Structure 1
């Protein structure tokens, strides 16, 4: 499994099975598909992502079991990535986006339905959802994992290869103070200092915030989905994530009804 070190920054994922729930979301651009957002597989048919990743042009497909979205194979040529069309994309009904002097992305969570069930194997399987709601401040200064194909700090272009890094969770008070009223930080959000820039560069990746449950000995679970950030890995501004355990009822209802 991946070993994280906050002092190293973003590192390339080497083996397909390290993060088997990661999904690259593809969007139609002229005659080709480009990958611009991440998500996580939460069961055989559904992918969890950010609401701002659901656009008019997609996603049109989900790429699973992959590291390099431009390559036909990764580390194991006997296990090629699986591409599945998207049949539905659902934003939270109260999602709010405002552009102008202020930007607010409230209820920034969405679900993607696949056209067929994803296979389960060594490189593709779902991640767990949290079992219950956890107080934000009890998570302060704890470490979590982020991963995805977010935009690079140096070029401003999306990564073709999945990277991962550790991130340190901040308290709610520290997060609110950092943004000084520039963004609305609600109880349904988590903040984490992402020194690698995987999530906060352009804030357009739907990057998952993950941890191993039971103090690092249990199954992996998704804690948050990237909502927005300030600048690109700016140490003065934590990245903001939608707090998944406050949306468990909405996720369950949406999956059951669709």
Structure 2
């Protein structure tokens, strides 16, 4: 019998230790590890909620500020941030925390959003039809002129397809105050030859059927470090809305994932894909979220927040004809 024991440290650290005894049944081990991962997230969220009681009102206020207002204020030590690259006057680096390198030539629906054909990506995106890329509405703060589809690299034209953007359509219900409906569709001048990713169904069954998801993007591997030149990924547990709402000001248009220390998306990853990986092949991957915002990056007990793709199905069908719903 597999046994997992969680030992919680006393306040204020809210840390935990894990003691295990293992059987030789790998399926049992993997299942138990998945359960423990989610228990760890739950424990961290509870701890964060306890810590947040004294300043919850301030946290709610900050999460409702616009991005420009956030850049000029520091109401909390754990900031609520849009996950795109801020202006050069703000010393924050874009990053994927705690992840690994995506093998070249895989996940080629992952897209970089940039100002010039050979420039540096400041947001991510996902190819959802040969002619359309889905990214975050708040990425409109940057100069979107080109996308780089299927590339392994942060900048340049060494691989992938660098395609001109001819139209930008933001979701009509997008809220700059709260980041609700944080969706932007980019129409391309020429069609991409890379296969698009399928989009989550409206009933959210793609999310309900999986305990984990994968987020991808370009950036540094530590706060304040150098940006990665290659595409990174990290696997994060999906967090139910009720638990997430205990520590973050989220609504039904948002999806939470993560909550473990140093495993997260962050500035520069905005607009990038949160996917549920297909069991049999990459062709079965499903796009369930768009990197949107978070209460800091990789802070234990605070999941990352993603735009929930399933709520935008009807709009996507109109704006991006040919989009495939899994």
Q: For the superposition of Structure 1 and Structure 2, which TM-score range results when normalised by the shorter chain?
A: 0.7 to 0.9
Deviations 1:205-240 (A, max 9, x none): 212110135xx3471110000110111111120001
Return the offset for 1:160. Answer: 2.7
Superposition pairs of residues 28-107 of structure 1, within 5 angstroms: 33-55=119-141, 57-70=142-155, 72-73=157-158, 80-98=159-177, 104-107=178-181
Answer yes or no: is the 8 Å Cα contact 1:204–1:228 preserved in 2: no
- Taking the aligned partners of 1:41 and 1:137, their CA distance within structure 2 comes to 20
Identify the residue that residue 69 of structure 2 maps to in structure 1. none
Structure number having the greater helix percentage: 2
SS in 2 for 1:70: coil
Answer yes or no: is the 8 Å Cα contact 1:37–1:207 preserved in 2: yes
Question: Normalization by structure 2: what TM-score?
Answer: 0.62
- Taking the aligned partners of 1:26 and 1:42, their CA distance within structure 2 comes to 18
- Taking the aligned partners of 1:241 and 1:133, their CA distance within structure 2 comes to 17
Q: Is 2:74 aligned against 1:9?
A: no
- Taking the aligned partners of 1:69 and 1:160, their CA distance within structure 2 comes to 5
SS in 1 for 2:122: strand
Deviations 1:3-43 (A, max 9, x none): xx999931112322x21101000025xx9733110000011
Q: Is 2:113 aligned against 1:25?
A: yes
* Matched positions, count: 225
**Residue 89 and residue 157 in structure 1: after superposition, are their counterparts in 2 closer, same or farther (change >3 A)?**
farther
Return the offset for 1:198. Answer: 4.7
Superposition pairs of residues 229-244 of structure 1, within 5 angstroms: 229-244=294-309
Answer yes or no: is the 8 Å Cα contact 2:200–2:206 preserved in 1: no
Question: Normalization by structure 1: what TM-score?
Answer: 0.77
Deviations 1:44-96 (A, max 9, x none): 100011111123x42110111211233553xxxxxx32111111111111111
Identify the residue that residue 76 of structure 1 maps to in structure 2. none
SS in 2 for 1:160: coil
Higher deviation after alignment, 36-45 or 87-96: 87-96
Return the offset for 1:155. Answer: 1.6
Return the offset for 1:243. Answer: 0.9
- Taking the aligned partners of 1:87 and 1:167, their CA distance within structure 2 comes to 34
Structure number having the greater strand percentage: 1
- Taking the aligned partners of 2:206 and 2:192, their CA distance within structure 1 comes to 33
Structure 1 unpaired stretches of 5+: 74-79, 99-103
- Structure number with greater Rg is 2
Deviations 1:101-142 (A, max 9, x none): xxx2111111011111111xxxx2210012342269846x80
RMSD of aligned alpha carbons: 2.8
Answer yes or no: is the 8 Å Cα contact 1:153–1:197 preserved in 2: no
- Taking the aligned partners of 2:223 and 2:176, their CA distance within structure 1 comes to 27
